[in-house]
């Protein structure tokens, strides 16, 4: 594992994006990859960079489109169309827009159709919470999960996030509807670990606790059985209904290329209560209480979602972002291609 200084990471990734994006957009997008890794979300940061470049190269993501266009609106509710453009740039546009809507109306909602992968759901919830509002965002995905009651890949492992403003750093829950991410299963398989419960099927359709076999088959169940199943279906249909975009069924299996997803961004003002000091105190009291509880055997007590974010960010800013060699190698190769392309253009 390497440790890469944040500025260096942004610089190199910007170079690799210049064949596809204008300078300002390239730098911004590079900052999103680096920022997600800086926050410790290694599954949805710099590791996804090479794949995103490839998606822009093949046209699965249309790099010419970096802003969504407004389809319709009614007061605090708006529908936008991303037209297959650059997912995270457009997602940030939506987060900004929904903050404006909520500041004006108390609560706001942007429903977005046809967006490419937004990388990390939590980024947009965090933008909203860091602006002082409560944020709720969700997206659908391709059919990378088996619905409860069948062994066929059929639902999306749809991520959703809920973020709360807090003086000491926003709280953030950012999760998908499976118990583990495929990336996490791959790591467990490499380490020879077994799962505590069967959360997927092997190639023969048998339930298994072997993470490697689930990666092999691509047959992962929803978390919490019928409950994750219900959550996946409803998040998918809610995003489709509100945006008028595609459901997981239209997005299809992963082999078809995950693109043109439906997303929802909601922001709510958290500053209209008559007792804001008490609210802040009650948040801290709950966190302190949870930290005070005796840890169950072999577990490090209770974790409050997002509580370690500031510390992780500080440490990675100081010590460099942890990146695997293969990820960094690909970033450097893309940067080299980007520089070569520019030189050719100039001559």
For residues 67 and 85, the answer to whether their CB atoms sit within 8 Å is yes
- How many CA atoms lie less than 13 Å away from 85 in the CB half-sphere? 21
Stretch that binds its own copies, among 21-29, 83-91, 184-192, 243-251 (CB under 8 A): 243-251
- What residues contact residue 137 under an 8 Å CB cut-off, 6+ apart? 95, 121, 124, 125, 128, 160, 161, 263, 264, 265, 266
Catalytic member of 28, 44, 105, 117: 44
- What residues contact residue 248 under an 8 Å CB cut-off, 6+ apart? 140, 141, 142, 143, 154, 155, 156, 158, 232, 236
Q: At its nearest, how many Å lie between its own copies and the CB of residue 172? A: 8
Stretch that binds its own copies, among 30-38, 54-62, 224-232, 328-336 (CB under 8 A): 224-232
Q: At its nearest, how many Å lie between its own copies and the CB of residue 193? A: 15
The residues in 48-77 that bind its own copies, with binding defined as CB under 8 A, are 71-77
Angle in degrees, CA 335, 341, 347, rounded to 5: 135
The secondary element (H helix, E strand) that includes residue 329 is: helix 325-346
The residue count for binding its own copies (CB under 8 A) is 85
Is 266 a residue that touches its own copies (CB under 8 A)?
yes
Q: At its nearest, how many Å lie between its own copies and the CB of residue 144? A: 15
Specify the DSSP class assigned to residue 63: T
Is 282 a residue that touches its own copies (CB under 8 A)?
yes
Binding mask 97-126 for its own copies (x = CB under 8 A): -------xxxxxx-----------------
The residues in 285-324 that bind its own copies, with binding defined as CB under 8 A, are 285-286, 289-290, 293-296, 299-305
Nearer to its own copies, 151 or 339 (CB): 151
Q: At its nearest, how many Å lie between its own copies and the CB of residue 76? A: 5
Assigned token pair, 3: 């440790």
The residues in 145-184 that bind its own copies, with binding defined as CB under 8 A, are 146-152, 154, 162, 164-165, 171, 173, 175, 179
Nearer to its own copies, 295 or 325 (CB): 295
Is 209 a residue that touches its own copies (CB under 8 A)?
no
In the residue annotation, 44 being an active-site residue is answered as yes
Is 215 a residue that touches its own copies (CB under 8 A)?
no
Nearest to 76 by CA among 44, 101, 52, 46: 101
Q: At its nearest, how many Å lie between its own copies and the CB of residue 156? A: 11
For residues 271 and 114, the answer to whether their CB atoms sit within 8 Å is no
Position among 17, 228, 334, 335 found at the interface with its own copies (CB under 8 A): 228
Q: Are strands 77-81 and 107-115 parallel, antiparallel or unpaired?
A: parallel
Assigned token pair, 111: 């429903």
Position among 61, 89, 90, 270 found at the interface with its own copies (CB under 8 A): 270
Q: How many Å apart are CA 87 and CA 124, to the nearest integer?
A: 12
Active-site residue set: 44
């Amino acid at each position: 594992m390497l440790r890469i200084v944040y500025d260096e990471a942004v610089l190199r990734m910007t170079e690799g994006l210049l064949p596809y994006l204008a300078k300002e957009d390239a730098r911004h997008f590079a900052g999103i990859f680096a920022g997600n890794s800086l926050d410790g979300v290694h599954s949805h940061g710099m590791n996804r960079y090479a794949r995103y470049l490839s998606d822009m190269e093949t046209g699965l993501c249309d790099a010419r489109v970096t802003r969504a266009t407004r389809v319709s609106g009614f007061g605090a509710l708006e529908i936008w169309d991303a037209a297959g453009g650059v997912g995270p740039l457009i997602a940030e546009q939506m987060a900004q827009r929904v903050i404006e809507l909520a500041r004006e109306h108390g609560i706001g909602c942007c429903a977005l159709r046809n967006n490419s992968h937004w990388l990390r759901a939590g980024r947009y919830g965090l933008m909203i919470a860091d602006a002082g509002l409560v944020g709720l965002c969700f997206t659908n995905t391709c059919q990378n999960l088996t619905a409860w009651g069948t062994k066929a890949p059929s639902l999306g492992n749809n991520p959703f996030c809920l973020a709360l403003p807090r003086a000491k750093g926003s709280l953030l829950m950012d999760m998908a509807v499976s118990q583990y991410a495929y990336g996490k299963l791959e790591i467990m398989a490499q380490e020879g670990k077994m799962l505590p419960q069967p959360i997927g099927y092997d190639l023969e359709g048998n339930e298994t606790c072997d993470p490697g076999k689930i990666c092999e088959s691509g047959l992962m169940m929803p978390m919490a059985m019928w409950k994750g199943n219900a959550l996946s279906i409803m998040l998918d249909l809610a995003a489709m209904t509100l945006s008028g975009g595609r459901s997981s069924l239209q997005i299809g299996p992963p082999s078809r290329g995950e693109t043109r997803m439906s997303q929802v961004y909601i922001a709510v003002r958290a500053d209209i209560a008559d007792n804001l000091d008490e609210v802040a105190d009650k948040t801290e009291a709950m966190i302190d209480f949870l930290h005070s509880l005796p840890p169950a055997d072999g577990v490090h007590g209770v974790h409050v979602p997002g509580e370690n974010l500031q510390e992780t960010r500080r440490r990675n800013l100081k010590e460099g972002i942890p990146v695997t060699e293969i990820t960094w190698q690909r970033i450097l190769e893309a940067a080299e291609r980007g520089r070569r392309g520019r030189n050719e253009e100039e001559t």
